Amino acid sequence: MNLLSIQNLTVRYPRPGGQLLEALKTVSLHVEAGESMGIVGESGSGKSTLAKAIVGLVRPHSGQILYEGVELSRRTHAEREACCRRVQMVFQDAIGSLNPRMTVAAMLEEVLRVHRITNSEESLGTRKDSAFASEVLHLLDQVGLPPEVARAYPRELSGGQCQRVSLARCLALGPRVLVADEPVSALDVSVQARVLNLLRELQQRLGLALLLVSHDLAVVRTVCDRVCVLRDGVIVEQGRVVDVLERPSHPYTRELLAAVPDVGRGLAGREQGSVISVQ
Ligand SMILES: Nc1ncnc2c1ncn2[C@@H]1O[C@H](COP(=O)(O)OP(=O)(O)OP(=O)(O)O)[C@@H](O)[C@H]1O
Ligand SMILES: [Mg+2]
């Protein structure tokens, strides 16, 4: 049974004049625990729409999203809430996704409290603040941040640190699927590789399924096991990264690859500032 399975997903957006734009057209894919899937394609191909549909930020026109083999709409309310916690999203704009008025510790504690209440493991008030404090430090440690960061506000952190905090916030919810939409494209080139390595390491250590949206083939080459190539809302090709990026069968994939001849090097060379991307 697939951990997450998307079947014939179609998403339509209203257009001025009453027309509809079909941003995704009968898209199907699946991802397993411990596996990472890249979603690539040029700007406007529907990558973010797919990511948002998976986490419920965009309502599909038709098709199904199955978590552990069961469609969300067929689950009870409580089950649906539990599934939603298991599927978390990391955004491109890390700093913008954090509450500017809360310290990192307050943000993470809030997530932990809500999680505990809805899980009915322990109710608000019965859990000692010190227990939350140590969980916060553990979360920060998991994403490679020092304990001092707990007292900081988002504006006091770098873009890379903010992205690590938003990853910690996802981890607080005990996810099984992480959907990351261009998680490093807003970051300095010099920190991109480190954040991607962290993402890969967490995905493997925690056995997460990772859906990584990127217009950057070198990122996908470095981080992902499989890749699907989107064009105008249609998956034109999907398969193992080594197959698709080394022996593409679709002309569109060949076109994307032709624009980045050194994609085979993955992220090697990024530290020298060579950004490899298609857009
Ligand atoms: N909220 C919206 N309302 C109307 N149209 C939208 C909306 N969001 C996206 N679109 C359109 O849907 C199509 C797919 O957009 P999407 O943002 O999914 O592309 P993308 O592959 O993520 O692009 P990029 O690489 O630029 O982020 C585009 O034509 C876009 O203009
Ligand atoms: Mg996008």
pLDDT digits (tens, 9 = 90+) for 24-33: 999 999 999 9
What is the distance between the alpha carbons of residues 226 and 242, in angstroms, rounded to a whole number? 8
pLDDT band for 132, please (50, 70, 90 cuts).
confident
The H or E element that residue 9 is part of is strand 4-14
Is residue 162 assigned to a domain?
A: no
pLDDT band for 275, please (50, 70, 90 cuts).
very low
| Residue 32 and residue 2 in contact, taking contact as beta carbons nearer than 8 Å | yes
Say how many Å lie between the CA of residue 46 and the centre of ligand 1.
Answer: 6
Is residue 28 assigned to a domain?
A: yes
Percent of the chain with pLDDT over 70: 88
| Residue among 12, 27, 45 to mutate when testing ligand 1 (max atoms within 8 A of CB) | 45
pLDDT digits (tens, 9 = 90+) for 34-93: 999 999 999 999 999 999 999 989 999 999 999 988 887 777 888 877 888 899 999 999
| Residue 13 and residue 20 in contact, taking contact as beta carbons nearer than 8 Å | yes
Is residue 170 assigned to a domain?
A: no
Residues with CB under 6 A from ligand 1: 13, 21, 23, 41, 43-49, 215
The whole-number average pLDDT for the span 129-158 is 92
Residue of minimum CA distance from atom 28 in ligand 1: 44
Q: Does residue 254 surpass a pLDDT of 80?
A: yes
CATH number of domain containing 14: 3.40.50.300
CB-based neighbours (< 5 A) of ligand 2, an ion: 47-48
State the ligand closest to the CA atom of 230: 1
Task: Tokens for 19, please give them.
Answer: 């027309």
The H or E element that residue 65 is part of is strand 62-67
- C-alpha distances (whole Å) from 188 to each of 48, 78, 143 are 21, 40, 18
Nearest CA among 144, 97, 91, 135 for reference residue 116: 135
Average pLDDT, whole number, for the chain? Answer: 87
Predicted pLDDT at 271: 52
Q: Is 164 exposed, middle or buried (0-12, 13-18, 19+ CB in 10 A)?
A: buried
Is residue 123 assigned to a domain?
A: no
Question: What's the domain range around 230?
Answer: 4-97+175-272
What is the distance between the alpha carbons of residues 83 and 187, in angstroms, rounded to a whole number? 30
> In sequence order, what are the beta bridge partners of 20?
14
Domain count, the chain: 1
pTM for the predicted model, two decimal places: 0.89
